Structure 1
Amino acid sequence: MENSNISQQLAAIEAILFISAEAVNFADLQKALQIEPKWLEELITTLNGDYENNARGLRIYRHNNTLQIVTSPEVALYIERFLGLQPASRLSAAALETLTIIAYRQPITRQGIEAIRGVDSSGVINTLQARSLIEEVGRAESIGHPVLFGSTIEFLHQFGLKNLAELPPLEGLSNTAKTEASLPDVTM
């Protein structure tokens, strides 16, 4: 394929993701560019490689079948300073514990989280939703159809992950210990 055509496709991906207020569906992006899925995957990998290798301030994050252009975690301090944001507050131990449970066990209901934690988790779940770290991803096929929670693209961004497969492994831990493990303490 011609280099100018590749450059144009890379520029088109950047532009589409830049103008989109929400994450873009992979299939919609593929359709707009009129290219094969494998080629789109290669283009996204190329863009992210360029961003990372040149220490650029942007990244393309993928969550499920959506893509979004986001700022690099390395420039967060500068963005906060520019926007005049107060130093971000850290998540509480309860919030980190709940977030860990959701990240590793998703999709999971509030009742499932509470069964693991042993305490009411409504307030913590509300906090995590308010920070856009978790979201409703469906309803359980059980009595009352309780809400199922999962992590968001913002969760991936805040923890510097490209996808959930990059979560640290919890090998060597018992099932009980796995549910009590927590992610690194990060500033939100």
Structure 2
Amino acid sequence: MSTSPDETFETATASAASGTPAAPEAAESSDGGLAGPAAPAQPAPAVDVQDLPGGLEAALEAVLMVADSPVPTERLAAAVDLPVTDVSAALAGLAAEYRGEGGGRPRGFELREGAEGWRVYSSRAHADVVARLVLEGQSARLSQAALETLAVIAYRQPVTRGQVSAVRGVNVDGVVRTLLARGLVAEVGQDPLTGATLFGTTGEFLDRMGWQSLDELPPLAPHLPGIDALDALTDEHR
């Protein structure tokens, strides 16, 4: 006996509501009988990237070209179905090749590993050329206020807006919103004493700086005035 579309919809709806999957509808055989449930689709067979043109290196390039954010080595290894050690070595080799090491021609792009993984970037050496194309009529540079605020957050994190304002001596609400919008800082928790939002830098900040961790932040001591200079400043403001 055939089943109407309305009855099929009601059965599926009732099954979903009860948490039990509906049984697949049997297909009608050529002789009018029921032929049983349709076979599930089979997954596509795995492809050996070594058999593809260019091998592993070309496969990694193809994946990285479509990535809109840094990709960890482990995820790339899963994509090409090869050991992490092999993929890591291939990535390092590609990065060196793009830099022109070994007598090759330096490229206009770089492959860099940041805090959140590997990504292809335009070459730093060609930043001015790229800026002429993509920055027409607009400014992508951070203001001096934003740079100073970002520096305070980077060195003092996790830190609240109020603490940053105390260091800079001005209100930083608008600047922090700009840094949040650009993905350079993020909310990382709340101050246990005041309940104020705490801010810290992001993986995007590290990637923009070309670092893999905050341990690469340069030491502040060489940039701080000596005790004599501090005493002089104190005397001036008495």
TM-score normalised over the length of structure 2: 0.57
Matched, 1:110 2:165: no
Q: 2:148 aligns with which of 77, 94, 97?
A: 97
Q: Aligned match of 2:185 in 128, 132, 135?
A: 135
CA displacement at 1:121 relative to structure 2? 1.3
The count of residues paired between Structure 1 and Structure 2 equals 170
Query: 1:16-165 alignment to 2 at 5 Å?
Result: 16-53=63-100, 54-83=105-134, 85-86=136-137, 88=139, 90-132=141-183, 134-136=184-186, 138-140=188-190, 142=192, 144=195, 146-153=197-204, 156-157=207-208, 159=209, 161-164=210-213, 165=215
SS of residue matched to 2:98 = helix
Deviations 1:61-100 (A, max 9, x none): 3332332222112222222333462363643322111121
Structure 2 gaps, min length 5: 1-49, 228-238
CA distance in 2, matches of 1:85, 1:155: 26
Do the aligned residues in 2 keep the contact of 1:110 with 1:147 (CA within 8 Å)? yes
**Residue in structure 2 matched with residue 169 of structure 1 by the alignment:** 219
Identity of matched residues, %: 28
CA RMSD for the aligned pairs? Answer: 3.3
- Counterpart of 1:185 in structure 2 is none
Is contact 1:109-1:149 (8 Å) kept? no
Contact 2:157 2:200 in 1 (8 A): yes
Per the alignment, do residues 83 and 48 of structure 1 end up closer, same or farther by CA in structure 2, a change over 3 Å counting?
Answer: same
Q: Which amino acid aligns with 1:139?
A: G
Q: Which has the higher contact order (CA 8 A, sep 6+)?
A: 1
* AA of the residue aligned to 1:59: E
- Contact 2:113/2:119 (CA < 8 Å) preserved in 1? yes
Counterpart amino acid of residue 19 in structure 1: V
- Bigger radius of gyration, 1 or 2? 2
Counterpart among 38, 55, 65 of residue 8 in structure 1: 55
CA distance in 2, matches of 1:107, 1:18: 34
- Is the contact between residue 187 and residue 197 of structure 2 (CA under 8 Å) also seen in structure 1? no
- Judge which range, 12-21 or 139-148, deviates more: 139-148
Conserved 8 A contact 2:70-2:116: no
Cα distance, 1:114–1:62 mapped onto 2, change above 3 Å? farther
C-alpha displacement of 1:174: 5.8
